[in-house]
Amino acid sequence: MGSTKDINTLNLPVLGMSCAGCAQSVEQSLTKLVGVEEAAVNYANQSLKITYNPKYIKPELLQKAVQDAGYDLILDDHDGAAKQEELQQQNYKDLKRRLIYAAALTLPIVIIGMFMMNLPYANYIMFVLSTPVLFFFGQSFFSNAYKQALHGRANMDTLVALSTGTAYIFSTFNTFYPSFWHERGLHPHVYFEAAAVVIVFIMLGKVLESGAKANTSTAIKKLMGLQPKTLILIEAGTEREINIDQVKPGDVVLVRPGQQVPVDGQLLEGSSYVDESMITGEPVAVAKRKDDRVFAGTINQKGSFRMIAAKVGSETMLAQIIRLVQEAQGSKAPIQKLVDKIAGIFVPVVLGIALLTFLLWMVLGGDNALTQGILAMVTVLVIACPCALGLATPTALMVGIGKGAEHGILIKNAEALELGLKVNALIFDKTGTITEGTPEVSKLYYLEHAKAQEAELNEVLLALEKQSEHPLAGAIVQFLQPLGTENIRIEDFQSVTGQGISGSYHGRKYFVGNRKLLQENNISLDVALVEQETSLQEAAQTLIYFADAQQLLGFACIADQIKSNSAAAIAALKRQHIELYMLTGDNEQTAAAVAREVGLEHFKANMLPEDKASFVQVLQGQGKTVAMIGDGINDSQALALADFSIAMGKGSDIAIDVANITLVRSDLMQVPRALQLSKQTVKTIRQNLFWAFIYNLIGIPIAAGILYPSYGFLLNPMIAGAAMALSSVSVVANSLRLKLVKL
């Protein structure tokens, strides 16, 4: 259908869905269009994620296909979510108002139907009261069912309309033509109260469900609420308030105490403490001074400062987090795809069961076969509505992903949450993951024969390391620059992967790197230096050698501090019974020293990027589900191969891009929290699905009358309606319990 460059992805709000079957209908109406690659509808947050080829498809065509199926799309990608929320609020208020009126009319119907059947004209009174309950206040069930029938589909509204409509028509016939039954020696029963009460209970369930579902997305609403609408722009020394969408990169912005930082940027002037908790999950305010980075949505505390706007609008970290969370909440876990298939055939199967129930009653029911057959058929149709089934997975995912966002754990998609449960082996990179990733030179030492040339050698070393991309090279550059060395020109510069660099100056060849680089170029180390090297490396110091073509000139000792909570995080992961490994390009002794300090038994040193990727495959070959956590370009290959990948938020863009989960705060304690969140979310999904399935497995046979031959018990449609509404609310309430889980 075209290359990936020809593919667009949109997240659009959907209107008019009332159950998981509706979501299936919307998906089916879109996937049959030529040019649509994938369509995934999330019933819980009423959204569509669609991937399509713009050569064949325009958004307006998508909207028409959805409208033809009886629903609608909001195409405004700038403010679509706000419009959807406004419409949902209107519908919610309208539903509550209709529920109150319907309940007011239904109450006397119930009283007459259960306690005052001998009242004169009782059936006529119930007929008059129940008619507006069904066909005015409950008309949406019938109109939606009709729209579905026009397209050869059935959903929850079909079940409600058929059940209550059948009960109403049967009761109306018995009210106006009682003689039909009297002539046959039977009493004409009416079920107006059952039809009205079912409508009221299902409307009540929808009201409660809507309120509960709104709570599942509070995390994303909080994040969206952090986006300021205006900011103070400084131009030619004057302050001017402008709308946020007018600011451009490079503009100077003033942020006063208590204000939200409007865009991403760097401090130009002033200092303050900034609360970054909504982005990082870290409750302690962070000190900010000149040149420090600040992010949109964070809250300035005491001081005021001027900043230079760097990223604005959809480019800010907050906007990207919101987009990522919305996409993740709209995605489907593998288990949800199975549930959707079941929901897609569920309503037709229930219609079949209801018809079979009626036929069996007609054959085996005796004198009251028709009356009880209709009653049982109505009850089956009422109790079997698949709302709970459709809500079980997406509501838990929305709460879980939202909770992760609140704690600075960004989950790329629903599949990532499900995978996290299976992880039993975890690989760490060392630099920037277990350690701070900001190595510093603790000592630069020149051998006796090179000390006379120290100034010139510093210039050569600085010029060489400036051209290197290795993080340790940055530490040497930072150490040498304050010494005021001059810029000199290096010729024949070469980078040797996993070993170091080389280059020439005034016809003399120089090498900077590890011992392997020296060995490859036949440069020897004396015995005393080898002993010193070992002791330094055992103290977690990394040695970088500096040599010319004939001999070693000196070496730099570089230390990378271990993060304060790395040991605690590793201990927490061990308690989760996960095998832990550390892979590093550093030498054996330094790797051993770091592993010893943080409590890791398994580690591998001198690992190239391809070696890390190979090790992931080795563990996978042993049947393990492998997680990889890293922060650099050199980790991206292993991250992409791992079953479950975690990127540190301060890492490279490519590492973040391939990861299933990104930790906004580069804190290893977030790793056990992320895996704990995964386990709790999947546990909640399984609980929800269990109760949704059990409810239907038990409820449908009882509704059909399986207990009647032995116990004389036949389930009343009113009780069935209450049970159906309660099942949906209980599933959403169980999902909301995730908010209380301590990570």
Which residues does the annotation mark as catalytic?
429
DSSP assignment of 652-705:
-HHHHHH-SEEESS--TTHHHHHHHHHHHHHHHHHHHHHHHHHHHHHHHHHHHT
Integer-rounded Cα radius of gyration of the chain: 34
Q: Is 721 helix (H, G, I), strand (E, B) or coil?
A: helix
DSSP assignment of 11-64:
EEEEES--SHHHHHHHHHHHHTSTTEEEEEEETTTTEEEEEE-TTT--HHHHHH
Q: Are 399 and 328 in contact (CB under 8 A)?
A: no
Rounded to 10 degrees, the C-alpha dihedral 647/648/652/654 comes to: 10
Rounded Cα distance between 679 and 422, Å, is 9
Q: Are 206 and 312 in contact (CB under 8 A)?
A: no
Rounded Cα distance between 154 and 24, Å, is 10
Nearest to 224, CA basis, from 73, 41, 84, 417: 84
Q: Are 273 and 301 in contact (CB under 8 A)?
A: yes
Q: Are 425 and 626 in contact (CB under 8 A)?
A: yes
Q: Are 41 and 26 in contact (CB under 8 A)?
A: yes
Rounded Cα distance between 130 and 108, Å, is 10
At which residue do the structure tokens 């409007």 appear?
262
- Amino acid 53 reads N
Three-state secondary structure string covering 87-127? HHHHHHHHHHHHHHHHHHHHHHHHHHHHHCCCCCCHHHHHH
Nearest to 323, CA basis, from 416, 415, 413: 413
Rounded Cα distance between 172 and 124, Å, is 9
Rounded Cα distance between 413 and 331, Å, is 6
User: In sequence order, what E strands does 115-271 have?
Assistant: 230-235, 238-243, 252-255, 264-270
Please list, in sequence order, all residues whose beta carbon lies within 8 angstroms of the beta carbon of residue 89, skipping any fewer than 6 positions away.
none
Q: Is 385 helix (H, G, I), strand (E, B) or coil?
A: coil
Query: C-alpha distances in angstroms, 601 versus 96, 458, 504, 571, 677?
Result: 61, 39, 42, 12, 26
- Amino acid 503 reads G
Rounded Cα distance between 403 and 405, Å, is 5
CB atoms within 10 A of CB 561: 12
Half-sphere exposure of 444 (CA within 13 A, CB side): 20
CB atoms within 10 A of CB 92: 15
Fill in the DSSP letter of residue 563. P
